[in-house]
Amino acid sequence: MDEPGIGVGRLLLALDATLASLAAAPRGLDVAIASVALIDPDDLHLPLHASARDADLFLMVGVDADDVVGWLSGLGPRMPVAVMLKSPSPAAVSHIADLSVAVIDVDPHARWERIYRMVLRVLDASESAQLGAESMQAGGIGDLFELAAEVARRTGGLVSIEDARSHVLAYSSAGDEADELRRLSILGREGPPEMLAWLRQWGVLDALRTTEALVSVDERHELGLRPRLAISIRAPHADGVGDYLGAIWLQQGRSRFADNTPDILLGAAAVAARIISRRRSAGSGHDELVRRLLGARGDTIDAAFLGAQLGIAPDVDVLAVAFGGLLTDPTVSTPMPAMVSALTLHASAFSPLSVTTTIGPRAYVVLPAAEQEATVAWARSAVAAARRQFGVGARAVVAGPATGLASVPTVRMQADRVLDAAQRESDLIEAVTTVSASTTGVLLGEIVALIEDNPELIDARVLDLAQRDEESGSDLTRSLRAYLDHFGDVRAAATALHVHPNTLRYRIRRIQELTGMDLDDPATRLVVALTLRVPRTPPAG
């Protein structure tokens, strides 16, 4: 059997010169790459999961090339086959090559997420071919990249396959024949606005979305647009025109299209529809498996079945990380799928065995065979990355470790319990924490919730004091809470309130006179402190 993976040279051909070029290959182009991991600046300082540390290809996201040299030098004898960098200096390329590591120079405009997904697709296609996997078609085409390459070979054109949102899913190799629209689309950027405006004005985009007819686009030199054909991809539908799934674009290169190009494109659209539909089903199926693993369908799970489906040993020790606030911040306009995708990539870089999904407004990552300390450090970097990339203030709770996949629903519920408590006692629970470190905040939050649900447990003297504040504009309630939170230390409480200590002393005496509270009594202080933490419903009207 062939060596697992794909050679450096073949990977570069699959990615195309539009995205990446070879800067150095000290061990040649045939060294195989079978695994990939994303590394960002935070990861340089984290103890990576073993499977991530042993990846054959590292995508160095936002990492300075000079820092890569030092980081690689510290990995020990297990060096990667290659690293991907954006615009590395000649000196950095030379130093990395001295470590027998190939350097792939990535176009500075390319999106790392797209590069990562394309590398995974190329590796998956290579693995399927080596295992002799049954293809989706009798003709042997089971992957969109294979389809794009076959259509390009038979038509003599340059192929790109897009989804319904005009994101490139696959493409054929192009060399230097690609025009500006194709180049920018592959890089993950929108084409020039005036070019897209012309396509709309010509009715091309509307035609693709509303009909199954072949659409022709004429050459336009001033826009850098070469002649091309396009055809819509539609879900198979017995009653007529199916849902729009995307389009196949065929750009003319140096030679004319083959005579039977329209027939080839019609067949290719049907094949693409089956592949995309099957990929969608597989994706939703994977999410459902992970949700079942987390206990979304009941606390008792079939660990052996789910482990086999997800490629995780059922008896492995596991940690679960629950993220709150990532998907619910009303001030953030970034779509949820983009944030979940970013979290999935970040988790895969830390541990390729990880699985990620969402349940309601929360995101969850299950990490097999991970260490708690390293996972907490990773969770901090994930929360920091969410703030940098999306402006989201998220929380993360690490639960576990626990033995076996059967324990995942339990550790998820433990993490949820902490996130629930953090909604009430955010001052006592860190933004990134573990279940054990949050015990006090969780118990206090649940006690306060119990008091809130049973109004007869609320100290009426505190309610009377709050009512007096509302009517007179005084600040006695806040002063009382600060006094109790600082254990009766007047100077510390006054500093927190930004008032003079004598002012606070006067307020405390006044509170005792008005309410009859004995704040020297420990039981009174406890009852009053708990009542002060119960959210007060504003009066109606």
Q: What is the pTM of this model?
A: 0.55
Listed residue (421, 410, 417, 479) closest to 449, CA to CA: 421
In angstroms, the CA 24 to CA 103 distance is: 5
Q: Please give the pLDDT value at position 403.
A: 92
Asked if the domains 6-130 and 455-532 are classified in one and the same CATH topology, the answer is: no
Is the C-alpha dihedral spanning 431, 406, 443, 492 positive or negative?
A: negative
Instruction: Choose which CATH entry (3.40.50.1000, 3.40.50.2000, 3.80.30.20, 3.30.70.270) describes domain 285-453.
Output: 3.30.70.270
Domain boundaries, given as residue ranges, for the chain: 6-130, 144-281, 285-453, 455-532
**Cβ proximity of 96 and 72 under 8 Å:** yes
Q: Is the peptide bond before 401 cis (omega within 30 degrees of 0)?
A: yes
What tokens appear for 452 in the block?
A: 């809130």
**Cβ proximity of 294 and 359 under 8 Å:** yes
In angstroms, the CA 436 to CA 414 distance is: 10
In angstroms, the CA 411 to CA 316 distance is: 14
Q: Please give the pLDDT value at position 404.
A: 92
Architecture of domain 455-532: Orthogonal Bundle (1.10)
Listed residue (144, 179, 195, 201) closest to 251, CA to CA: 179
Give the contacts of 521 (CB within 8 A, at least 6 positions apart): none
Series of mean pLDDT values for 10-residue runs along the chain (541 residues):
72 78 90 84 67 78 85 81 92 92 89 78 62 35 73 88 80 71 65 69 84 86 82 74 84 87 87 78 75 86 87 91 74 58 76 84 90 89 81 87 93 89 74 83 74 78 81 81 83 86 85 82 81 64 40
Each as own residue / partner, the long-range contacts of residues 165-171 (CB below 8 Å, 24 or more positions apart, any chain) are: 166/190, 168/114, 169/144, 169/246, 169/276, 170/121, 170/143, 170/144, 170/145, 171/16, 171/145
Instruction: Choose which CATH entry (3.30.450.40, 3.90.226.10, 3.30.950.10, 3.40.640.10) describes domain 144-281.
Output: 3.30.450.40
Instruction: Quickly list DSSP for 197-224.
Output: HHHHHTTHHHHHHH--S-EEE--BGGGT
> 6-130: which CATH topology?
3.40.1390
